[in-house]
Amino acid sequence: MEIGVGSPVWVEVPELAWTDGVVTSVNGNGVEVTTKLSKLHPRDMEAPAGGVDDMTKLSYLHEPAVLYNLAIRYGIQEIYTYCGNILIAINPFQALSHLYDHKLMDSYKGAELGDLRPHVFAITDVAYRAMINECKSNSILVSGESGAGGVNADHSYESNPVLEAFGNAKTVRNNNSSRFGKFVEIQFDRRGQISGAAIRTYLLEKSRVCQISDPERNYHCFYLLCAAPPEEIERYKLGDPTTFHYLNQSSCYNLVGVDDAKDYLKTKKAMDIVGMTESEQEAIFRIVAAILHLGNIAFAKEEEEDSSVLEDDKAKFHLQMTADLLISTDPHYRCDLEALESALCKRNVVTPEEVIKKSLDPHGAAVSRDGLAKTLYSRLFDWMVKKINVSIGQDPDSKCFIGVLDIYGFESFKTSRYCLRALVLFVLIWV
């Protein structure tokens, strides 16, 4: 770097991430502003006032230049920006329906990347044409903050009610955030027509089942079931979400503009469409209800050291309900009440000679309980994805596909500054 007196620079500061300035004097490794020379970056004085739509046009592709360009474009509601063939989307936190109408989508068909304004339609069209022209599969990697694409959350909530009900949740920044990664394989025949599809999921945020932070929510399905018709509430012995440990760790129970009772019925209807039978739906919601009851099983210290028992009659009731709800129609797979209690309060130690049961203290029993809840939910989710794959159909003869790898993340940062810095790191690595 050639930085001297009079050089326009970016200076790193804690409050703003980067601020612009001019070097007035240089003293060894320092300048007049109290920062080391290594913390300075040259500033591009020829960049247009409205930013650039492709950041490879910038004179400097370093962190402050990228952040500044994205901020300038965000200020004029340009949420999409290219960095070569990478598309960066900044969450607008509002509905931008004009960005996703059919007329605009049609305008991107056949257009070269960069001919039109940056858009997700351009990326998909490039992938599709490459697949058709070169007869080889393509994949698109989607990573970052859920909702950054700018689609109205209410609309997306209705687009796939089953997966979203069981895989999405409210986070601090997004009311309908996908909490699992997925690879969607869209299969095509030789004419370029969609012939099948498959969904592969991974990285389900299992910890959310048992632990949530205020003001977030657990997975939507728990609140939907608590808002089910009265006869179902009675059948599963449910009640207000505030009465369940896995839900009342946060003060947020309702979402603005969302009716959980109506969405429960929409989810049931979607289950019908994807081919889930009434008995399968009954089994699904029995497991969801069982997990809620499981979370309310509290433990107290027994007289013996490092051992635990059920805390009170409420804990015994929820244990009984958990066992009742997990009973299968197959008599060989019934949930034994005493075996369930033993499994929660004790753990098996396997030795070469025998299996020894070791008692757990109340904390250890609670950890065991939460582990069971996470396992139940994870296996339920995997089963549902497999069922959906059967319904949408896979084409065994398909030679080409477009894959969309959707990775959630970048939502746990304390400020947007750190979220953007993670995004910049992602961009610089890929470039």
| Mean residue pLDDT across the chain | 86
The pLDDT of residue 379 is 96
pLDDT in tens, 113-122: 999 999 999 9
pLDDT in tens, 378-402: 999 999 989 988 888 888 888 899 9
Q: Are strands 177-178 and 168-169 parallel, antiparallel or unpaired?
A: antiparallel
Residue 34 lies in a domain: yes
Residue 169 · residue 218 · CB < 8 Å:
yes
Q: Which parts of 43-193 are beta strand (E)?
A: 80-83, 86-89, 138-144, 168-169, 177-178, 181-188
Name the nearest CA neighbour of 295 among 374, 355, 364, 356: 374
The pLDDT of residue 151 is 43
Pairwise CA distance, residues 60 & 8, whole Å:
13
The residue-averaged pLDDT of 301-313 equals: 89
Residue 224 · residue 263 · CB < 8 Å:
yes
Count CB atoms within 10 A of the CB of residue 383.
Answer: 14
Name the nearest CA neighbour of 121 among 134, 110, 132: 110
* The residue to which tokens 């029993």 are assigned: 365
Read off the pTM.
Answer: 0.77
Residue 428 lies in a domain: no
Domain that holds residue 26: 1-43
Mapped onto helix, strand or coil, the DSSP state of residue 398 is coil
Pairwise CA distance, residues 120 & 148, whole Å:
11
Torsion of CA 306, 307, 309, 315, to 10 degrees: 60
Residue 266 lies in a domain: no
Residue 99 · residue 150 · CB < 8 Å:
yes
Residue 274 lies in a domain: no
pLDDT grade, residue 39 (50/70/90)? low
The pLDDT of residue 331 is 61
The pair phi, psi for residue 197, each rounded to 5°, is -160, 165
Q: Are strands 177-178 and 181-188 parallel, antiparallel or unpaired?
A: unpaired
pLDDT in tens, 152-166: 433 333 337 899 999
Residue 264 lies in a domain: no
The pLDDT of residue 413 is 46
Least confident of 7-16, 56-65, 345-354: 7-16
Residue 28 lies in a domain: yes
Residue 308 · residue 296 · CB < 8 Å:
no
> What's the total number of domains in the chain?
1
pLDDT in tens, 354-363: 888 899 999 9
Residue 25 lies in a domain: yes
- Greatest mean pLDDT range, 295-299, 408-412, 416-420: 295-299
The pair phi, psi for residue 202, each rounded to 5°, is -165, 170
Residue 241 lies in a domain: no
Q: What angle separates helix 416-430 from helix 63-75, to the nearest 10 degrees?
A: 120
Name the nearest CA neighbour of 129 among 397, 402, 398, 399: 402
In degrees, to the nearest 5, what angle opens at C-alpha 295 toward C-alphas 177 and 315? 160
The residue-averaged pLDDT of 221-245 equals: 97
pLDDT in tens, 275-284: 899 999 999 9
* The residue to which tokens 């940062």 are assigned: 413
Pairwise CA distance, residues 305 & 244, whole Å:
29
Amino acid at 207: S
